[in-house]
Structure 1
Amino acid sequence: MNDQPLWALTAGQLAQAFAAGSATPVQALEAVLARHDAVNPRLNAVVTLDRAGAQVAAQASAGRWARGEALGLLDGVPLTIKDNILTAGLRSTWGSACYADFVPELDETPVARLRAAGAVILGKTNVPEFTVQGVTDNALFGPTRNPWNPGLTPGGSSGGAVAAVASGIGPLALCTDGGGSIRRPAAHAGLVGLKPSRGLVPRRHGFPAILDNFEVVGPIGRCVGDVRAMLRIIAGAEAAAAPPTAKRIAFIPRFGEAPVDPAIAASVAEAAERFAGLGHAVERLDDYTLVEPVNAIWSIVSETGVAWLLDAHLGLGRDAPVQPGIAAMAERGRGHSASDYLGMLRTLEAAGEAFDALFSRFDLLLMPATAAQPWPVGQTHPDVIDGQLVGPRGHAVFTAFANALGLPGLTLPGKPDRDGMPIGFQLIGPQGSDDRLLALGAAYEQAFGGFPMPVLSGDEG
């Protein structure tokens, strides 16, 4: 730890340094801000920086550590907030011209809890407009780039968050996951990302819920311990440590005939072998089609949500100053009927019953977090995966079902691609099994190690 710069340390390592007196929150913030100034112009991860507010918070934290009154593990730790989560007194745009100058008066509940725990909020990270796309780009701020290869996207909608954490602009990020927006970008950036169970992290004083309760707030970090520490704070309760006992794991390499990048398939298969080597009972499930009905109706959720936001909530309708892709989504949403929406709910009920039966046989599911590796900046999605033409959500087939059913999901780094680009896999459990996922993730991380941070052009050492 001593030979690493402060900006490269995890939250747990920073807390150890603060407790030992070998570093202070002020010094950690100075290091992270310098790192931001060096790499953010290339990556466009942070779109609103609160330099002055962070300095005040770091000074207050330093005083608490000096007096032996630290508020916990994240006291003095610099972190970022995704730009669709409201922060009092700090611009929150949701990536849209509709909110270009919006400064909320109140923190959303998870933000308030992080502030109360002494965390130092650096600023807001970039998102696609209304966080309904799997790539991070918008008309206000432009695209975010992947630290591992700035010519590629980090995915979305938490692309700004993963670019910040992976490049050293804070060891943690507070994010949302409405259809895979934590888990897929975390996989693209070599990070740990948790989508909590529905209802575990309360939300008040936020933007309109256009994805209903499918979207949840969760953490992204560089290690499982940091992610667990943030979850405990934003959930508002001390999580019981689940024992890392042997589990029944269903390994699902693909969904039906949907293509998967061969490098991802090989990496996730190796992760399955590693879990078996750790003593877990791993069973491969081929020809898996249980989620196909959920994926088939997913567009109804996002399209009707966007149409409602523009028409009913903002009252802007077809005159809303939104990007063409969002306008097209809203137009399709206006065409969905109440019968379509009710049919979607019935589909989800049937899917929930099917997954209940699946979880009577298995404790956890292991599968890819994304079907494709990152694609070039400027493209909304990869058109081809493993030689097959795919649509806009072809890369995202493995994630939305967990949102629709309220299930927790944890992305972990697996064996990287041959070119060094990260590859992640995800563990999915029944509702309320967040601690079980984190315990298994921690055991995997301890056995096989985490993933290194990227070296950006111009980095020294």
Structure 2
Amino acid sequence: MTTTEPGTTLADLSAAAMSAGFAAGTFTPLEVLADVHARMDACEPVVNALHHRDDARSTTAAEAAARRWETGRQRGGLDGVPVTIKENIARRGVPMPSGHAWVEMPVADHDAPITQRLEEAGAIIVGSTTMPDWGMLSSGVSSLHGITRSPLDPTLTTGGSSAGAGAAAAAGYGPIHIGSDIGGSIRLPCTWLGLAGLKPSFGRVPLDAPYMGRCAGPLARTMADVALAMSVISAPDDRDWTRLPALAVDDPRDEAGADFDPAGLRIGLHLDAGCGVPASPETLAVVAEAAERFRAAGAEIVPIDPFIDDALLADMDLFWRVRSWNDLRGLPIAEQALILPYIRAWAQGGADVTGTRLMDCYHSVQEIRRRTVAATADLDLVLSPVAPDAAFPAEQPMPYPDVSQPMGHIGFTMPFNMSEQPAASVHAGFTDDGRTIGVQIAGRRFADGVVMAAGRWFEAAAAVPAPQRFDLG
């Protein structure tokens, strides 16, 4: 295939490099935005990462940012930096379809906390990114959007449900892209697209509709950009009744992670989730190699036995099916018919669940939380696969075709949603056929800064080559 090396236009710069260029007068936010718009024009016909694009609104914002930089009144490290937000993050006046087709599409009447924090920091929101129906697929397949495809290889999935966010990051629609994650929806696109991303501690990034396990966080090409985004979007907001205090990020532009030293740390190595699909040999080899880098730097590597089983995974899956069935039956008949058939069939599995059985599932969710905390309590970090295998074909809604099968690919990611612990994905290697593999780095609850610093350290220590984009014109 023909490829394009990263860094060929201003759109490919890191947020820190953009800020440095703005400060030096080398280029302006308007010039950066023009390159981002050109990249979107070239890639969108194939990649299909954007649900909503508003060039006029982003240009007005970039003009204002340029004036601030000219007069020394910039608002910080994201002023003038292009970003995207997932379509389920409210932006006043922008449709919020949640990935599925509608007879009458809802439009946001307010800005979510994330949207407000980004705009207060001067970030240029260039668009809202796609997701699959209700965010309940690990792909870019949607009844509304069609298929969102990998910029690395359009025949492959982006992962999901932050499909468009991952595609936008990999395609170079600016450095920072905000997604959401209830079982792996940030980390799965990261591993299948060669990106860095963070599922923060629960409550770390305020939401206007919090829900058990759901978090929002950044996807980017480097962990330094993830950390910079977190320094903005983690500001407290009272609309989220689960919110945590503001995140303290020391020097978020420290790309080398110089504030992190593995020496003396106890780091778990988790290679068997105990449930779902076993990790492939290639995936295990990449994660083991990552662990060896930490060990060589002085960390103690501690093997972790499986702590989740298939019964708990099945109950988690059923709990979500009931929730989605409730959403489905609440829609008018005409709109029920528009939902992706795979999701309709998946949600149907929750149709006849009794209240007693649903409580069993709820207790299983709490058991997942208990076991995850117990298994990791005496460790500083945990290294594991993100997903059992590399990216699958873009047309598949899930890694497996059987809709009755529980979500067998989230055994490594989902437990940290339920335990409320931070978990990152960092690009760590490739399969023999060139598909990307990430390593998950999880930490103790509230230790988001430590997880991101470990990710930055690993990026510098491993120096894994960045994946190359497919030539999309």
TM normalised by structure 2 equals 0.89
Which is further off, 30-39 or 1-10?
1-10
The alignment covers a number of residue pairs equal to 447
**Secondary structure of the structure 2 residue equivalent to 1:213:** coil
Specify the alignment match of 1:256 in structure 2: 274
Check the 8 A contact 1:294/1:401 in 2, yes or no.
no
Q: Distance in 2 between matches of 1:80 and 1:343?
A: 39
Which is further off, 80-89 or 59-68?
80-89
Specify the alignment match of 1:9 in structure 2: 13
Specify the alignment match of 2:243 in structure 1: none
Specify the alignment match of 2:215 in structure 1: 216
Of 335, 350, 353, the residue aligned with 2:370 is 353
- 1:326 counterpart = 2:343: yes
Check the 8 A contact 1:310/1:317 in 2, yes or no.
no
Q: Distance in 2 between matches of 1:152 and 1:393?
A: 19
Specify the alignment match of 2:128 in structure 1: 124
Unaligned segments of structure 1, at least 5 residues: 385-389
Q: Distance in 2 between matches of 1:119 and 1:240?
A: 18
- 1:442 counterpart = 2:456: yes
Specify the alignment match of 2:73 in structure 1: 69
Check the 8 A contact 2:186/2:198 in 1, yes or no.
yes
- 1:111 counterpart = 2:115: yes
Deviations 1:111-158 (A, max 9, x none): 111111111011111110110111111122210111111111111111
Of 363, 368, 388, the residue aligned with 2:385 is 368
Q: Distance in 2 between matches of 1:233 and 1:26?
A: 22
- 1:172 counterpart = 2:189: no
Q: Distance in 1 between matches of 2:310 and 2:425?
A: 21
Specify the alignment match of 1:239 in structure 2: 248
Of 271, 277, 297, the residue aligned with 2:296 is 277
Letter in 1 for 2:393: P
Check the 8 A contact 1:42/1:145 in 2, yes or no.
yes
Superposed, which structure 2 residues align to 1:41-440 within 5 Å? 41-98=45-102, 101-204=105-208, 206=209, 212-236=211-235, 237-241=246-250, 243-245=259-261, 246=263, 247-256=265-274, 258-286=277-305, 288-290=306-308, 292-312=310-330, 314=331, 319=336, 321-383=338-400, 391=405, 393-440=407-454
Q: 1:317 to 1:280 in 2, by over 3 A?
A: farther
Q: Distance in 1 between matches of 2:34 and 2:467?
A: 20
Which is further off, 348-357 or 401-410?
348-357
How far residue 318 of structure 1 moved from its aligned partner, in angstroms, is: 8.7
Check the 8 A contact 2:436/2:467 in 1, yes or no.
no
Q: Distance in 2 between matches of 1:189 and 1:438?
A: 19
Q: Distance in 1 between matches of 2:92 and 2:343?
A: 27
How far residue 291 of structure 1 moved from its aligned partner, in angstroms, is: 5.3
Q: CA RMSD in A?
A: 2.4
**Secondary structure of the structure 2 residue equivalent to 1:395:** coil
TM normalised by structure 1 equals 0.91
How far residue 107 of structure 1 moved from its aligned partner, in angstroms, is: 1.1
How far residue 240 of structure 1 moved from its aligned partner, in angstroms, is: 4.1
Letter in 2 for 1:129: D
Check the 8 A contact 2:170/2:469 in 1, yes or no.
no
Q: Distance in 2 between matches of 1:291 and 1:428?
A: 19
How far residue 99 of structure 1 moved from its aligned partner, in angstroms, is: 7.2
Check the 8 A contact 1:77/1:120 in 2, yes or no.
yes
Q: 1:458 to 1:41 in 2, by over 3 A?
A: closer
Check the 8 A contact 1:92/1:99 in 2, yes or no.
no
- 1:35 counterpart = 2:39: yes
